[in-house]
Amino acid sequence: MIRWILAVLLASVQFTALGQGAQNAALEDEITPESDAAVERGLAALVQQQTENGSFGDGRYANNVAVTSLACLALMADGNLPGRGAYGENVRKGLEFILENTSESGLVAGDAANGPMYGHGFAALFLGEVYGMTGGSDTPLADRTYEALVKAVRLIERTQNEEGGWRYNPLPNDADVSVTICQVMALRSARNAGIEVSKETIDKAVRYVIECQNPDGGFRYQLRTRDSAWPRTAAGVASIQYAGIYDDETLDNGLGYLVRTSLPGEGNARRSPHYYYGHYYAVQAMYLAGGDWWATWWPAARNEIVSLQRPDGLWDDRGVGEAYGTSMALIVLQMPKRYLPIFQK
């Protein structure tokens, strides 16, 4: 009975998310003809990257749960869901791949995963968004998604270290800001979808991230390191916002650091080896901050990323590859569509 009630409630959320609600209506000038065309080309090119087993990624990132999850999120950002939409079958195949790589412990990882908590965080986020957007429908696939999501959340909760963060492996021994934000977003998505999440876990994570901020407003990689960098600063700010904090000096200082050091169009951020990763979090941070932050950052980020698209419709990340770079670029460019629950204020 409880599951049925939850399914009904989530179905109403789905109707709002996929219908004509204000959250899904792009504001004037947020989407340009150029960005719309870039997204259309990018989605068509991205699905060509999917392999027979449903995964995305190649080379040393073949059969990668993080890249697969991000690719599916990019497709879902256009309103595609398992069995629904032009690319619904691609999302379903990606979901099947993720479910097949979920262990009894709850860890979602490919056979050759290195530092699996990165992939686990993105995969748990994907599971949370799928479950939240499909309303917990009474199907075998929905049941498997629910079970995998709950297990994934419980693994995140029990592997948090004493500092309040997470690191590469599912052991509570160490922490860094980058892996931590992956877990915070997954927990937020799961909570949005109606899954019980420990408040203590979230509170500890927030304290850890805040302690990683430097006096210049940027964020360092770990508590014991020093240097600030814009990609992890974007991740740090977003993680605090996803924990439910939207008005705090820490956020203003972090957002200010991003604008000072990495405003798109000025060339500084393009040299970063984590360019698409940084924009993935920065656009979320600026959107959640709203106001002048969003008005300043969004047009510049949108136009710069559109300009980097290749003639074949793909974006290439030098470190992780085309499927990853394209997925990240598409998630960023589709932010104004506001289909994904995680991006709805």
Q: In whole angstroms, give the CA distance from residue 133 to residue 29.
A: 26
How many percent of the chain have pLDDT more than 70?
89
pLDDT above 50: residue 45: yes
| Alpha helices by DSSP H, 23-134 | 33-47, 65-76, 88-100, 116-134
CA dihedral 58, 122, 2, 140 (to 10 degrees): 0
Give the number of residues written for the chain: 345
Q: Which one has a higher pLDDT value, 147 or 11?
A: 147
Place of tokens 């968004």: 129
Please, is 105 exposed, middle or buried when counting C-beta atoms within 10 Å of its C-beta (0-12, 13-18, 19+)? middle
The answer to whether 47 and 323 are in contact (CB under 8 A) is no
**Model confidence at 27: pLDDT above 90:** no
- pLDDT tens readout for residues 153-202: 999 999 999 999 999 999 999 999 999 999 999 999 999 999 999 999 99
Check residue 267 and give its pLDDT: 59
State the pLDDT at residue 66.
96
Letter for the amino acid at 322?
Answer: E
Separation CA 81–CA 130 (nearest Å): 7
249-262 tens-digit pLDDT: 999 999 999 999 99
pLDDT > 50? residue 25 = yes
In the predicted structure, residue 331 carries a pLDDT above the cut 80: yes
Domains and CATH numbers, the chain: 2-23+37-334 (1.50.10.20)
Residue 273: which pLDDT band, with cuts at 50, 70 and 90? confident
**Above 70 in pLDDT, residue 305?**
yes
pLDDT score, position 340: 94
* pLDDT reading at 56 higher than 60: yes
Q: What's the whole-model pTM score? A: 0.91
Quickly state the pLDDT bin for 128 (edges 50, 70, 90): very high
Give pLDDT, residue 304.
Answer: 95
d(CA 313, CA 325): 11
Q: Which has more confidence, 281 or 247? A: 281
Residue 269's pLDDT is: 61
Mean pLDDT, the chain, rounded, equals 90
What is the phi/psi pair of residue 318, to 5°?
-65, -30
- Residue 28 is predicted with a pLDDT of 72
Burial readout 315-326 (b: 16 or more C-beta within 10 A, e: otherwise):
bbbeebbbbbbb
Closest alpha carbon to 262 in 311, 223, 216, 309: 216
CA atoms within 13 A on the CB side of 231: 14
pLDDT in tens, 200-223: 999 999 999 999 999 999 999 999
If you average pLDDT over residues 71-97, what whole number do you get? 97
Give per-residue pLDDT as tens, 104-119. Answer: 999 999 876 678 999 9
Q: Residue 24 has what pLDDT?
A: 57
Say which residue the tokens 């699905």 belong to: 47
pLDDT of residue 268: 59
Range with the largest mean pLDDT of 13-27, 41-55, 113-127: 41-55
Average pLDDT of span 67-86: 97
Q: Taking a C-beta distance cutoff of 8 angstroms, is the pair 123, 129 a contact?
A: no
Which tokens in the block code for residue 211? 């302690």
Q: For the chain, how many helices (H) and strands (E)?
A: 13, 0
d(CA 74, CA 266): 26
Does the structure show a pLDDT above 80 at 93?
Answer: yes
